[in-house]
Amino acid sequence: MKKVLFATALLLVASPLLADSFVNGGFEDGTFNGWVKDGGKYNGSYSPSGDQGKSAIVGLGTDPISGLNTVYNGNYSARVNNYDNGFHYSTITQTVLNWTDPNIYFAYAAVLEDPGHPNAGHMRVTLYDNNTATNLYDIYFDYYTAGTVMGGAWHTTHSAITNTTWGYTDWQVVNLSVGAAVGHGLTLTLLASDCGWGGHGGYAYLDGFGAAPPPPSAVPEPTTVLLFGAGLAGLAAFGRRRNEK
């Protein structure tokens, strides 16, 4: 627990103070505008390196390991860390100086590799009230504890990319009643980490952060895309035949 609190404290120091609402909460700028990326080495404890970690903005698509939609709402989401291994962890964080709404919503999903040993890859989401020095939301799990923490939302799959087993959550939509924190400074942090022995990866997605619930995006299924493409091809062929007459 001390190592997690230490990492969170470092993030709070690094995060910028903004006002009223979270900037670019759905990452629809297509960038990390408003967010601070950080990262470092995890080998049982967190050692910040000063770099920006292994995070990236991703567009509509399918996660290559889990098959999840990479975006919950809109056109972009943030992927924190990535699937390669090597002792690394990554974080994104943002602070508002004066939260003005009695509710907060956001969505997240995690993808963690089965390490077969202790010190598994893990993720943590915290929403911290800077005025009261308390967490309004705090969820942590690794590959082994996710089934208990997440219940039926936790699944396992074999990845052809790494030839190993991974676990993943469904997209989780968090609905927080934070009326007592209106006017307070709030800090949101998402951390995702490889295992502590360096040989297994772990990452997570964050999307739709704000005062209104994020509706899921309609991501076309592959068959839908193929049918749509076939339809366009058919229309093009029909047009050519008409022009040849």
pLDDT digits (tens, 9 = 90+) for 137-147: 999 999 999 99
**pTM of the full structure:** 0.81
3-class DSSP state of 175: strand
pLDDT greater than 70 at residue 34: yes
Round to whole Å and give the CA distance between 207 and 54. Answer: 17
Q: Look-up: residue for tokens 């022009």?
A: 243
3-class DSSP state of 155: strand
pLDDT greater than 70 at residue 7: no
Average pLDDT, the chain: 85
Alpha helices in the chain (DSSP H): 2-14, 146-150, 222-244
Query: pLDDT digit string (tens) for 104-140?
Result: 999 999 999 999 999 999 999 999 999 999 999 999 9
Round to whole Å and give the CA distance between 120 and 21. Answer: 34
Round to whole Å and give the CA distance between 209 and 221. Answer: 25
Q: What sign does the CA torsion over 112, 115, 116, 117 have?
A: negative
β-pairing verdict for 103-113 and 134-142: unpaired
Q: Look-up: residue for tokens 């962890």?
A: 89
3-class DSSP state of 218: coil
pLDDT greater than 90 at residue 50: no
3-class DSSP state of 6: helix
Mean pLDDT for the stretch of residues 88-98: 95
